[in-house]
Amino acid sequence: MKHLENLSSITGQNIFLRPIVDSDYQTLFSWRNESMWLYLWSHPRRLVSFNEYANTLEKSLQKDVDIWLMIMSKENNEPIGFVYSYDTRPWDKHTFLTMFLTPTSRGKNFGLEAGAFFVQYLMDYFPLEKIYADVFEFNPISQSFVKNYGFVQEGFFPQHRYHQGKFWGMYRLALYREKWNGIKEEVFENIKKTSSNQS
């Protein structure tokens, strides 16, 4: 599914997406080891060394992750997050999507913009019929966020993740190509309007 040979960047109003490079590893490592976010990417919630993280990341890029793009701010050319697709099933025509934004970059339309451009990229270049997103029950902001793209709930895994002293469920949501084709113009128009209001 990889299509990065000729991809330099995907440019939006306030952000651009570019392929991950080796020099990004230190930034990604600092996000990975931030204590407040350990529950996102580590089942045992443990800190790791840079070498361990880099080795794990390399294996993921070779095996599980199909396309990993850094989310960059156009204002200062600094990384503010990432988005990637993984666990793609070409014969079943679906993939999974994950996105992360630093807290200081949230609430500024960057996430909606990055997600929309990434979804459009996947739909344009690959014969996908469905994109999945897994969202934890304790994260209503992300639940609302993916629904802005037209994702609908297809499943629920009760008591799936232990977090802050209790067990929480996980929602599995899906965006269908037909649905995306019906709303994408509205999504991008909303991004354009919001960006104009912020400028």
Percent with pLDDT over 90 in the chain: 57
For 162-172, the pLDDT digits (tens) are 888 899 999 99
For 111-161, the pLDDT digits (tens) are 889 999 999 999 999 999 999 999 988 887 787 778 888 999 999 999 988
The single residue listed with the structure tokens 């960006």 is 195
Domains belonging to the chain, first-starting first, are 10-198 (3.40.630.30)
Q: Which amino acid is at 157?
A: F
The closest alpha carbon to 113, from 17, 8, 191, belongs to 191
Angle, alpha carbons 105-106-107 (nearest 5°)? 125
Report pLDDT for 3: 47
Backbone angles phi, psi at 106, to 5 degrees: -85, 155
For 51-110, the pLDDT digits (tens) are 999 998 999 888 889 999 999 999 999 999 999 999 999 999 999 999 999 888 877 788
Q: Is the pLDDT of residue 43 over 90?
A: no
CA-to-CA dists, residue 42 to 25, 51, 52, 172, 190, angstroms? 17, 16, 13, 19, 35
Cα 36 to its chain centre, rounded Å, is 18
